[in-house]
Chains A and B, each alone.
Chain A
Amino acid sequence: MNEEFIHKWESQVKKGILELVVLNILNNRDYYGYELIEEIRNYTLIDIAEGTLYPLLIRLKESNLVLSEWVEQDSGIPRKYYSITMDGKTTLKELNIYWENLTRSIQKITTR
């Protein structure tokens, strides 16, 4: 077994699907960054360097797929909540269709 190859491949797959995971989670309700990471961990086996999530969220925001808003807290340290936009929702629908088709076709190959 080539562990180095597996590790590199896994990291590429993770990077590729992280946006899909984030958009799907935000499709249910608004989350702040730390909470979003906890949710990713709850739902998936994806173990990311948490810092990489923030550049990803900035990218999604620049693409108008998510919005963000600072919400003041009693602690004095505000939370930045992210929500999905209408454009994000329609884009996500397309992404999910693509993903389903992709996994179906991959399954066809692996179970042949």
Chain B
Amino acid sequence: MNKINFKSESAQGYYSDYIKRVSKCISTLADADRNELIMEINSHIFEGISREPAKNELEILVEVTGRLGVPEEFLKPLVARKKLDQAVRSFNPKHVFQAIILNLKNSILYSLFALLYLFLFTFVGLIISKIIFPSNTGLFISKGSFRALGYISPTDGLTEVLGYWFIPLSIIAAFLFYAFITLLLKVSRKT
């Protein structure tokens, strides 16, 4: 690829950084696809800055790359799809693994949230357990220090300190946990 030469050092640095970011995003693609895409982005930048030769180089470069978008965002779906194509074509386990990671990132994230939401049921289980086995369920201490939280058997040498307060405290903890993971889900959808 023929690099674009700028008069201004800051513009040259900005340009090199942007191209580096593009290269990094598509580093897992096949050589031919990678070269083709970098040349195309390079050509786009050149055409963009050529449209306004009177403007400050850095200013117009920031404008052109700003309109192009964040490489990590606009190239992500393409890389994921290309990688999958490459994987099923080559049968290469390395490509298959990379493709699965790229394509399943969201699925993995949502599976993790599913597990966290399922974890809420442990609070329900503990409350039921407290009702059925009151002396084996709760917050246990021994000689002034924490030993266990939940169901434990046998309870020799341990003292349960919460009594039936364990039930409302478990409900409060479940609500707090629910609010926390829902907040995490909200944040993850925005990023």
Which residue numbers of A lie inside 8 Å of B, CB to CB?
Answer: 32-35, 49-52, 54-55, 58, 70, 75-80
Contacts and interface: CB of A to CB of B under 8 A. Distances in A.
Per DSSP, are chain B's interface residues mostly helix, strand or loop, or mixed? helix
B2 A52 contact: no
Contacts of B77: 55
Given A50-B67, A51-B68, A54-B37, A77 B42 contact: yes
B71 A51 contact: yes
Contacts of B69: 49-52
A101 B72 CA distance: 37
B139 interface: no
14 contacts: A33-B44, A34-B44, A34-B48, A49-B69, A49-B73, A51-B41, A51-B68, A51-B69, A51-B73, A51-B74, A52-B74, A54-B44, A54-B78, A55-B74
B66 to A, nearest CB: 9
A51 B46 CA distance: 14
B41 A70 contact: no
B48 to A, nearest CB: 6
A75 B48 CA distance: 13
A81 B75 CA distance: 20
A80 B40 contact: yes
B142 interface: no
A51 B43 contact: no
Contacts of A80: 39-40, 43
Interface of B: 2, 4, 37, 39-44, 46-48, 50, 67-71, 73-75, 77-78
A49 B74 contact: yes
B40 A51 contact: no
B155 to A, nearest CB: 53
A12 to B, nearest CB: 14
A54 to B, nearest CB: 6
Contacts of B74: 49, 51-52, 54-55
Given A34-B44, A77-B2, A51 B39 contact: no
A37 B84 CA distance: 28
B30 to A, nearest CB: 13
B47 A79 contact: yes
Nearest to A35: B47
A50 B64 CA distance: 9
Contacts of B67: 49-50
A35 B73 CA distance: 22
A36 to B, nearest CB: 10
A78 B4 CA distance: 11
B50 A75 contact: yes
